[in-house]
Amino acid sequence: MDKARIAVLVSGGGTNLQALIDAQNKGIIQSGEIVLVISNNPDAYALQRAQKVGISTQIVTKKQCGSQDAFEEKIKQLIDTYAVDLIVLAGFMSILSENFTKDYPQRIINVHPSLIPSFCGKGFYGLRVHQEALAYGVKVTGATVHFVNEIPDGGKIIMQKAVYIEDGDTPEILQKRVMEQAEWEILPAAVELVSKQLCS
């Protein structure tokens, strides 16, 4: 295999997808190539980011599929059609069941905006993670890239990067800093690392 074929699953603005596209253009990601972006939100700006650079996009919604099983089955079909080797969850706001994750062991990765095992698991996503970190009073937070299994945020950790909390931080300010200083660095690095392993 020359390059691992990558699908990125998104739900929103696609800032992490953009970080991956930029990393691919800069040669940080050399062992993999994004061939598909799947969104469960038809209005996700991430779709436009992908289309701008000629990456194929697909929309799969639970509403259109009728059930979680049918939703996951449709995604699996697309993964097969595009011969995808690695699945990257980049702000994908839908928990994938064991029925899905068991088919792709060590081939699905996710970025989470805290240092797992802190502030993670069911219900911990988006701003809530940063609200909880500030409420708890931790001095250091960060981001984690991990393999995905049937337990939310429960798979093996691939990379982590710490970010210091500063006086006057709001959840929004902290979210932005964690993205810029941690997520956008370790997600491309982890994608390269795992792609390289899949190619070897």
Contact between 164 and 154 under an 8 Å Cβ cutoff? The reply is no
> DSSP states of 117-177 as a string?
TSS-STT--THHHHHHHHHHT-SEEEEEEEE--SSTT-SPEEEEEEEE--TT--HHHHHHH
Contact between 187 and 158 under an 8 Å Cβ cutoff? The reply is no
Q: Is 146 a catalytic residue?
A: no
Q: Which of 24, 31, 47, 112 is catalytic?
A: 112
- Strand-pair partners of 34: 6
* Cα–Cα distance for residue pair 19/46, rounded to 1 Å: 11
Phi, psi (rounded to 5 degrees) for 72: -70, -35
Residues 6+ apart with CB under 8 A from 153: 110, 112, 116, 120, 121, 124, 144, 146
Kindly state the tokens that stand for 32: 């993999």
Helix axes 45-52, 15-26, angle to 10 degrees: 20
* Catalytic residue numbers, as ranges: 112
